[in-house]
Copies of this chain bind each other. A is one copy, B any other.
């Protein structure tokens, strides 16, 4: 593990202050142009030097006919050129002194035949000039903390705490909006492409040392350096959790039929063992990958697997209990002391078993403050799971019926919701046990959005929450096993 992130060969690349850009033009349907538009859309604060044989300006920025015409040596070169001129361009960049390159162009090892030889030449050039390389055949890097995004789709949402190293570039771009809707974002996401020189392990090590990254996600189609991968992971997991989604089977097998028998069965078991020995938590889908990262990056690690469920709706409470059971979590009863403290808050229709079903709360604010506080303080509670019903319309409807104007009802409703969300966020900060929410309402609804934007995890559905809690407890055990606990 690096002592500091600056030691990573990817540091200068992911934090470049200036870039030469090859392959963008004023033709807005070209790939290169679209990538440069993403760079501009993110508001990259360094200098951008488009290189173009004919144009004077590209997308409004002064262009240079040749790399050596650029008035300084840029930190980074992004190359989105036709395959046949990529290597000569890299050679020119190397001569000029550029030491970090992202090669987006494909047509190398992944196409076989002449592509293999072409990639060998590329590696020779990169090695000769001691360059750090992402690719070829990748989408580069999205580091929103640095306002850098070289991928095809504009970055959405705030910078976040999830670091990603991915063997699919397009997948990264598909997740910007997905994460933003959950109040999440990337710290840095790497598309590794063919991994000609730097690979998944290098990215993992970078993210291990990255101060913005609280948890590392890996999207894996196949690992090259098995032993190094394991060693790197083992040095990181005592400090920072790693979650991997392995799509199974070889690239060849996958493309040529991808039956779930044969091809997958072998490697799948192999990878299972590799992840276990590395202290890596395995996800079974893209959704799980980011659900696990979400909770691992935002909640405390619980002492054990005893979950108390707070609800005011019977069905969702029961469904949550069922999901916890299936995820190997326990549902303890509440202590005598807790029951006594709880009594004044629970109406006759409620139940103080676990799930704690409050039905109607006498005072809705209690649901966000005193009640969860009492429940989480129970000695039997390791994790508190809360169902958010969000009676947003009901709140408004009641107010309108009471004579408040519709506009005023929206305003008053928003104030109440903000207060409730704030109370819940404070409770989460003050407690050293994890609080995990779930709901069937839209993450775009004010009351859910208010929680998400304050860092309270609210999963769409109890089964996703329960599986994420399972991952959280798994990480607790991994930390014990790998030698750091606190």
Chain A residues packing against B (C-beta within 8 Å): 28-29, 31, 33-34, 37, 41, 59, 106, 152-154, 166-175, 177-178, 181, 219, 221, 245, 247-249, 254-260, 264, 284-287, 312-316, 318-319, 321-326, 328-333, 349, 351, 353-355, 360, 389, 391, 393-394, 397-398, 401-402, 440-442, 444-445, 460-464
Interchain CB contact under 8 A, B175 and A318: no
A416 to B424, CA, bound (A): 43
In the complex, chain B residues whose CB is within 8 Å of the CB of A325: 248, 258-260, 264
- Within the complex, the shortest CB–CB distance from A124 to chain B, in Å, comes to 25
- Within the complex, the shortest CB–CB distance from A136 to chain B, in Å, comes to 12
A323 to B289, CA, bound (A): 14
Interchain CB contact under 8 A, B315 and A171: yes
Greatest chain B CB density within 10 A among A321, A441, A445, A461 is at: A321
- Given A170-B315, A285-B461; 16 other pairs, CB 8 A cutoff: A28-B402, A33-B401, A152-B394, A153-B394, A154-B397, A168-B314, A171-B315, A247-B322, A249-B322, A254-B318, A256-B333, A257-B332, A258-B355, A260-B324, A285-B463, A286-B319
Interchain CB contact under 8 A, A166 and B398: no
A178 to B441, CA, bound (A): 6
Interchain CB contact under 8 A, B28 and A401: yes
Interchain CB contact under 8 A, B442 and A181: yes
**CB nearest to A256 among chain B residues:** B353
In the complex, chain B residues whose CB is within 8 Å of the CB of A59: 401
- Within the complex, the shortest CB–CB distance from A461 to chain B, in Å, comes to 5
- Within the complex, the shortest CB–CB distance from A335 to chain B, in Å, comes to 14
**CB nearest to A321 among chain B residues:** B258
In the complex, chain B residues whose CB is within 8 Å of the CB of A440: 174-175, 177-178, 286
Interchain CB contact under 8 A, A331 and B28: no
In the complex, chain B residues whose CB is within 8 Å of the CB of A318: 168, 221, 247, 254
In the complex, chain B residues whose CB is within 8 Å of the CB of A41: 397
Q: List 12 A-B contacts (CB under 8 A).
A: A28-B401, A41-B397, A166-B315, A168-B313, A168-B314, A168-B316, A171-B313, A178-B440, A255-B353, A258-B322, A260-B328, A286-B316
Interchain CB contact under 8 A, A398 and B462: no
On whether A219 and B315 interact (CB within 8 A), knowing A153-B391, A360-B31, the answer reads yes
A286 to B175, CA, bound (A): 25
Interchain CB contact under 8 A, B168 and A315: yes
3 nearest A-B pairs in the assembled complex, by CB-CB distance: A168-B315, A260-B325, A171-B315
A171 to B257, CA, bound (A): 41
Interchain CB contact under 8 A, B316 and A441: no
Interchain CB contact under 8 A, A177 and B463: no
In the complex, chain B residues whose CB is within 8 Å of the CB of A264: 325
